[in-house]
């Protein structure tokens, strides 16, 4: 146990934890988007899906696990950033000057800032929808979550906030997914470009998918 604790406290171990928790959270985002897109099939379908989800007794340990993943991911990322800043107080010279092209992108250089934004965005999002107004459907015991979503996304301020949040999430995933694969050893030179494309595709699909719902509600009133 001490050896394991020592490993996960090391830079290599911390990076591995960040990668594993990050990929796990991406898996959740995929499932979450699939569930959210059921709104396009109508209120009854979406409300029954959400009711079955929250009625499942496994939802509480699953939520606890998600919170743990989120906290560990954020904590280890911040710790690695602070450790890196302390070890390298003066930034390295631009690699272009040494004849080596830099692989830095906007996504990679703003990971800590996009991550900190999401650290604030996610709790606010959960509070708005999970703990927001409770409306009953005609069916006893079933929450009309569809009505709450339509109500929230009829507000231009929240729509703008949500769309910006999803754009920042996409930016975070643009670099984060391929970086996680690399840390876990899946990004070998042979598959480097393929892994990057997987990351880029996931980032784009998730960001656009989540953005589509508030835009659809606000501009079309949630009508199919």
Residues 100-134: pLDDT tens digits?
A: 455 688 999 999 999 999 999 999 999 999 999 99
- Give the Cα separation of 154 and 42 in Å (integer): 17
Tell me how far apart the alpha carbons of residues 69 and 72 are, in angstroms, rounded to a whole number: 5
pLDDT at 142: 96
Q: What's the pLDDT at 189?
A: 76
pLDDT at 190: 77
Percent of the chain residues past pLDDT 70, beyond the cut:
88
Average pLDDT over residues 39-67: 96
Predicted confidence (pLDDT) at residue 183 exceeds the cutoff of 80:
yes
Is the pLDDT at 191 greater than 70? The verdict is: yes
> Residue 88: what pLDDT?
67
pLDDT of 188 strictly over 80: no
Full-prediction pTM beyond 0.85?
yes
Report d(CA 81, CA 97) in Å as an integer: 25
* Helix/strand/coil percentages in the chain, nearest 5: 80, 0, 20
* CATH number at 2-87+105-220: 1.20.1300.10
């Amino acid at each position: 146990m001490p050896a394991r604790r020592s490993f996960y406290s090391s830079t290599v171990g911390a990076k591995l934890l960040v990668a594993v928790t990050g990929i796990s959270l991406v898996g959740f985002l995929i499932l979450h988007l699939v569930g959210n897109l059921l709104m396009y099939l109508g209120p009854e379908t979406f409300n029954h899906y959400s009711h079955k989800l929250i009625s499942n007794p496994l939802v509480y340990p699953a939520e606890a696990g998600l919170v743990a993943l989120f906290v560990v991911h954020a904590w280890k990322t911040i710790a690695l950033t602070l450790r890196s800043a302390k070890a390298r107080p003066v930034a390295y010279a631009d690699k272009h000057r040494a004849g080596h092209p830099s692989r830095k992108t906007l996504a990679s250089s703003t990971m800590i800032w996009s991550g900190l934004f999401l650290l604030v965005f996610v709790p606010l999002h959960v509070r708005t929808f999970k703990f927001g107004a409770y409306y009953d459907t005609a069916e006893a015991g079933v929450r009309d979550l569809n009505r709450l979503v339509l109500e929230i996304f009829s507000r231009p301020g929240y729509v703008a906030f949500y769309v910006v949040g999803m754009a920042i999430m996409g930016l975070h995933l643009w670099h984060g997914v391929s970086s996680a694969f690399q840390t876990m050893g899946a990004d070998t030179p042979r598959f480097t470009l393929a892994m990057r494309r997987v990351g880029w595709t996931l980032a784009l699909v998730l960001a656009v998918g989540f953005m589509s719902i508030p835009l659809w509600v606000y501009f079309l009133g949630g009508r199919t």
